[in-house]
């Protein structure tokens, strides 16, 4: 079977119904919640995520992919795809991740790479260091900056794959046979490591020590953030951690903000911008990622169509803020009242949280980080790329 045939058949192998997610040459993204601006409005102010991304992709020259095409078309990855097929019928998280890469109806896996390209174009070449003037550019973006965008996507995708490792001590009979879950864990580790290896190889080819240090530190932040997330994760029958919103923000930056923030800073380093411009890019990436994370946490509480049985993260921003307003004792009491026959009734708990201040406070926090991101952009001259970056902020910080 040819690789193209494999890619076309992959949705069926993974049990995906409906039209498959389009690849890099034909982008299409579904909408997220209807969102928009509170502080100001860009000239276009698109209301839907797919429109925001489509317009941004035109500005950077060509559609961004969820990972490097060179990596996607490798023999190793095609073999992994064939192996993942063996997990169909189980509840292994890697299968869900693989389906998301093919048919992504809720999340935008290419956001990080796209932001790196946009901020590279918005900043342009350095006005004080002319050593990059002879570098090749496409649509005002250096080829090394495009490589960095691909590396950022690869690292993020590798993290998603590695998150799909199952704790075999907590398996239930409905999850699938033990040997299949063990096999899925092995594939998740190997495939995630394969993506990270490609990212490291790409970093080396950039031949910039500071960029390597920045991305390496972002990787360390990711590892630390995921570790803290796991150590404070709230299980249905064992809710003991009280992290508070300050701790939540630190953990959210490590696990969700550091990669984008430091990638934006690295893009400025590749264009030989000074420390002030690098810090501006860092601040935009940081606050944009935090705003995006909070928006994601809010979805179970603001979506019009949410299945009552769908679980949500008990350490998400709205829940942590709700608990902080309520107090630890009352929160534990609400958890107890939401239990039925030893199981947590998420529908009941969701309504309880929505009746408190946690959701509105999370929306305010999302907008706060959005405003900080917009403030950072004011340092860049007006341009289409800057407007696209503003529109991305508007798209994740407007709630109706």
- 3-state class (DSSP) for residue 142: strand
Residue from 144, 369, 156 nearest 268 by CA: 144
Look at residue 34 and give its three-state secondary structure.
coil
Are the CB atoms for 161 and 199 separated by under 8 Å?
Answer: no
- Please give the chain's pLDDT, 400 residues, in tens: 433 343 334 334 334 444 333 322 222 223 233 333 344 443 333 346 778 877 888 888 765 544 445 555 566 666 666 666 666 666 666 666 666 665 554 445 578 889 999 999 999 988 776 666 667 777 789 999 999 998 998 898 888 888 777 777 766 666 677 777 787 788 788 888 888 888 899 999 999 999 999 999 998 988 888 777 766 555 544 454 667 899 999 999 999 999 999 999 999 999 999 999 999 999 999 999 999 999 999 989 988 765 656 778 888 999 999 999 999 889 989 988 888 877 888 889 999 999 999 999 999 999 999 999 999 999 999 999 999 999 999 999 988 6
Q: How many helices (H) and strands (E) does the chain have?
A: 17, 4
- Report the residue count for the chain: 400
Contact 362, 317 (CB under 8 A): yes
């Amino acid at each position: 079977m040819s690789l193209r045939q494999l890619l076309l058949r992959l949705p069926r192998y993974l049990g995906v119904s409906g039209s498959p997610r389009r690849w890099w040459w034909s982008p299409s993204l579904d909408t997220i919640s209807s969102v928009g601006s509170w502080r100001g409005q860009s000239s276009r102010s698109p209301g839907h995520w797919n429109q925001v991304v489509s317009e941004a992709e035109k500005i950077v020259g060509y559609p961004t992919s969820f990972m490097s095409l060179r990596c996607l078309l490798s023999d190793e990855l095609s073999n992994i795809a064939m192996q993942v097929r063996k997990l169909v019928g189980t509840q292994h998280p890697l299968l869900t991740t693989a389906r998301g890469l093919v048919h992504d109806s809720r999340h935008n896996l290419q956001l990080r790479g796209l932001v790196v390209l946009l901020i590279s174009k918005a900043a342009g070449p350095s006005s004080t260091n002319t050593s990059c003037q002879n570098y090749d550019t496409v649509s005002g973006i250096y080829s090394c900056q495009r490589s960095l965008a691909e590396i950022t996507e690869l690292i993020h995708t590798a993290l998603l794959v590695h998150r799909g490792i199952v704790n075999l001590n907590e398996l239930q009979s409905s999850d699938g046979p033990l040997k299949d879950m063990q096999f899925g864990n092995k594939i998740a580790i190997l495939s995630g490591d394969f993506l990270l290896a490609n990212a490291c190889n790409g970093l080396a080819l950039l031949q910039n020590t500071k960029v390597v240090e920045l991305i390496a530190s972002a990787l360390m932040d990711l590892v630390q953030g995921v570790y803290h997330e796991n150590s404070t994760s709230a299980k249905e029958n064992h809710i003991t951690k009280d992290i508070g919103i300050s701790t939540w923000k630190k953990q959210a930056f490590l696990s969700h903000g550091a990669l984008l923030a430091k990638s934006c800073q690295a893009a400025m380093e590749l264009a030989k911008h000074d420390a002030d411009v690098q810090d501006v890019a860092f601040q935009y990436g940081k606050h944009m990622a935090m705003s995006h994370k909070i928006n994601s946490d809010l979805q179970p509480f603001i979506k019009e169509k949410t299945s009552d049985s769908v679980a949500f993260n008990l350490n998400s921003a709205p829940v942590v803020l709700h608990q902080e307003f309520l107090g630890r004792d009352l929160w534990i009491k609400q958890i107890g009242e939401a239990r039925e026959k030893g199981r947590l009734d998420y529908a009941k708990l969701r309504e309880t949280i929505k009746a408190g201040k946690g959701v509105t406070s999370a929306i305010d926090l999302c907008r706060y980080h959005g405003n900080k991101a917009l403030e950072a952009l004011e340092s860049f001259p007006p341009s289409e790329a800057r407007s696209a970056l503003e529109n991305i902020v508007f798209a994740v910080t407007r709630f109706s």
